[in-house]
Amino acid sequence: MSDLRTRLRAAPTLTGTPPSWDPSQTPDAPYELFVEWLLAAIDRDVVEPCAATLSTVRADGRPNARVLILKNVTEGGWQFASSSTSRKGEELETTPYAALTFYWIPLGRQVRVSGRVVPAPADESARDFLLRPPAARAEALVGRQSAVLADRADIDPAVQEQADRIAADPELIAPNWTLYTLHADEVEFWQADPDRRHLRLRYRLDENWTKELLWP
C-alpha cells in the first residue's frame, strides 16, 4: 500500500494550461459562460468534451454516478438522455435532483451543475432517440440496461433482433427513452492554478442569478 501511495502522489496533476480568464468579466447568468467554455474545449480538441459525470441519489439515500454525454444546453437547462427504466431513470423518478460535472483536463477547467431534473414530453424524447446511431437505438430497444447478465453470448442475438426491427421500421422508438433537462439552480466554474490558488466562480439562483467568488 505504501508503494501505491508513493506512486499516486508522484502521478502528475493539474497538467492543463488554463486560458486567461477574469471572473469579473462574466455574464449575469451561467448559460453563456458554460457555452463559451464548452466551445473552447471543442476548439482545443479536448477528448470527448461533451462527456460529463451525472450524479443521482439512490432510493436508500446513497449517491450514484456515471459518465454520459451532454445532448444539448440552452438557457432552459442541460440535457441528457436515458431509458426511464435504467438505474439513473429510476433514481431520478424517486429523487428528481442531480448534478453534472464536466472536467476538461487540457484546459484545467471544471464545471459543476446541479438542480432539478425534468423529463421532456414524449415527442421530444422520440426525436432524440431517432438521432442516435442505429446500433445505439438497437441496444436501447433491448431495454435491459443494468440488469444482471448471465452470459455475454446473450447480447449479440438480443441486439440483432432489435436491429432487424429497426431495419423494418426506421421510425421505431424505445417506449421508455427519455430526454431529461437539468434546470440548474447552482453552477460553479473552476479553473486550476498550479499553486492551488484555483479560480472559483459560483452562480446561485434565487429569483435571479447571484455570482460569488469562492476560496480555492
**Sequence-ordered list of residues with C-beta below 8 angstroms from that of 144, at least 6 positions apart, any chain:** 158
Residue range 185-201: mean pLDDT, rounded:
96
| pLDDT score, position 147 | 87
**Sequence-ordered list of residues with C-beta below 8 angstroms from that of 182, at least 6 positions apart, any chain:** 77, 78, 79, 80, 98, 100, 113, 114, 115, 116, 117
The pLDDT tens digits of the residues spanning 106-150 come to 999 999 999 999 999 999 999 999 999 999 999 999 988 888 999
Measured between alpha carbons, how far is 31 from 33 in angstroms, rounded to an integer? 6
Long-range contacts of 159-164 (CB under 8 A, 24+ apart): 159/135, 162/137, 162/138, 163/134, 163/135, 163/138
Q: DSSP 3-state assignment of 208? A: coil
Residue range 67-86: mean pLDDT, rounded:
97
Percent of the chain exceeding pLDDT 90 equals 96
Q: For all residues of the chain together, what is the average pLDDT? A: 96
